Structure 1
């Protein structure tokens, strides 16, 4: 292990160096805080440092703070403070500054060895953990790329298949028997379901990869919400669900991607219809909350247990799912909602009670009106 010693006392410095080299460590030795920082901030810097509390240039506590602040995100730095200060307040001060351990002067060789070995074990474990995290990130990236590629490649043949089946249902290829019509209509429905799954997979992979393009324009979110509700009116009617909307009479203008925010409403409405029994109620509300607009989709559906609420916006999570007519989810809809709302710098959350229903909320920033100052000439 490469170890930095920063100790201005020549005798202590030499004793430390000899001891560490005897235990097969590579040692870099300096005598002030300024040189210690130069070594720490260099390429291939030591991961362990033994720093004297009091030394010229920069004391050990100040150097600790600087290391923790300015090397964050780099390889782990394990810091042992070397101090003649033995009272508890000073020791606490050292830990608060970012030290991992301490040893008092004059030091005991066996104690120093034990503390250094403990630090080496921690560094080794943290390095392994960092490697595993990087591998997982790489695998996750490859998975997202794979999903995006597969989803994209499936779209074209699926669109061609749908068009062919649709033409048959419309009688273009000849008259159909009732049974043939039923089979082809079912096939068309399942093609549409598969298309939604592909779209959801593609959106999810784009969100994870940070590749979602948001094309913002000024839109009236009240009108957009009404449009989304209208699109689900027939499905709600088929399930005898009362679907209502409440918006202010005055337009609320936001700067957002119209298609993406409509997708947010659609996913929340799909989720509500999928989890609400026949005869239930779903209400959409848009409210002006000053700096932002608050939107909600409330249902009288099956609800979920409180412990599952934090997991709602995770991928492939499905709680309290009900079978029946209407949209059948992929387990990705709410994860997409979260990604799209956050892409617009908004927030999303949910409240739910088992057996009573759920409310999903999201906020978006309103379009700020610019004050125009008119200056008269002359």
Structure 2
């Protein structure tokens, strides 16, 4: 996985510093915003970020609403957004975040290895979707409620799929010196890749038929 450009959105200077240092270990370029308004301006001014890590509890605007606004904008909807919260950790909050279009919802405290694994998983799924969009032929447009439901289902599948990727990634680190277990982890990752490709193809086909 090549290095990515990641936007960190958090009103805590300490959190921004820690996350910047952590993601720098994987050579990612990290840009920080300490307000929701600044984050929106950055993304709309240059919508080329590979990933946005967005704290839910921002002082000037709810992080979930920031996510919703970016996902409703055709110019920025393609950027994966992972919400992070240490307060709103109940199922209803997670569901609200995912319904706003978030590509993941992480609950603090997050182990360093787990966060880096989640970032790699999210970037991998996003990369698969971009590669598919670049090579797949266009499909005829239509407007169908079933297709919209199917597109939403594909989006929701990505969250547990990211968890599978991240968990396998952490196992690979744990069993780095164990050849037999490394083979098992490699098989898990290979199957996760197959599922990710199936979901990406299905989602892309549905969106094309909807003209999105």
Task: Give TM-score scaled by structure 2 length.
Answer: 0.60
1:77 equivalent to 2:79? Answer yes
Q: How many corresponding residue pairs?
A: 136
Structure 1 residue 74, shift from structure 2 partner:
5.3
Q: Which has the higher strand share?
A: 1
* Contact in 2 for aligned 1:5/1:49 (Cα 8 Å): yes
Separation (CA, whole Å) in 2 of partners of 1:110 and 1:95 = 23
Partner of 2:159: none
How does 1:199-348 map onto structure 2 within 5 Å? none
* Contact in 2 for aligned 1:47/1:75 (Cα 8 Å): no
Structure 1 residue 44, shift from structure 2 partner:
4.4
* Contact in 2 for aligned 1:47/1:76 (Cα 8 Å): no
1:116 equivalent to 2:119? Answer yes
Separation (CA, whole Å) in 2 of partners of 1:31 and 1:74 = 19
* Contact in 2 for aligned 1:53/1:60 (Cα 8 Å): yes
Separation (CA, whole Å) in 1 of partners of 2:123 and 2:61 = 25
1:90 equivalent to 2:93? Answer yes
Higher relative contact order (CA 8 A, sep 6+): 2
Partner of 2:105: 102
Task: Assess, with a 3 A threshold, how the Cα gap between structure 1 residues 12 and 3 changes in structure 2: closer, same or farther.
Answer: same
Separation (CA, whole Å) in 2 of partners of 1:118 and 1:55 = 25
Q: How far does the alpha carbon of each residue in 1:182-232 deviate from its partner, in whole angstroms, 9 at most, with x for none?
A: xxxxxxxxxxxxxxxxxxxxxxxxxx9xxxxxxxxxxxxxxxxxxxxxxxx
Partner residue of 1:5 out of 3, 8, 11? 8
Q: How far does the alpha carbon of each residue in 1:224-280 deviate from its partner, in whole angstroms, 9 at most, with x for none?
A: xxxxxxxxxxxxxxxxxxxxxxxxxxxxxxxxxxxxxxxxxxxxxxxxxxxxxxxxx
1:46 equivalent to 2:60? Answer no
Partner residue of 2:17 out of 9, 14, 17? 14
2:49 aligned counterpart, secondary structure: coil
1:130 equivalent to 2:133? Answer yes
Task: Assess, with a 3 A threshold, how the Cα gap between structure 1 residues 89 and 47 changes in structure 2: closer, same or farther.
Answer: same
Q: Which has the higher helix share?
A: 2
Partner of 1:186: none
1:41 aligned counterpart, secondary structure: helix
Task: Assess, with a 3 A threshold, how the Cα gap between structure 1 residues 75 and 94 changes in structure 2: closer, same or farther.
Answer: closer
Q: How far does the alpha carbon of each residue in 1:15-47 deviate from its partner, in whole angstroms, 9 at most, with x for none?
A: 111111111111110101001101111234312
Partner of 2:32: 29
* Contact in 1 for aligned 2:71/2:101 (Cα 8 Å): yes
* Contact in 2 for aligned 1:39/1:45 (Cα 8 Å): no
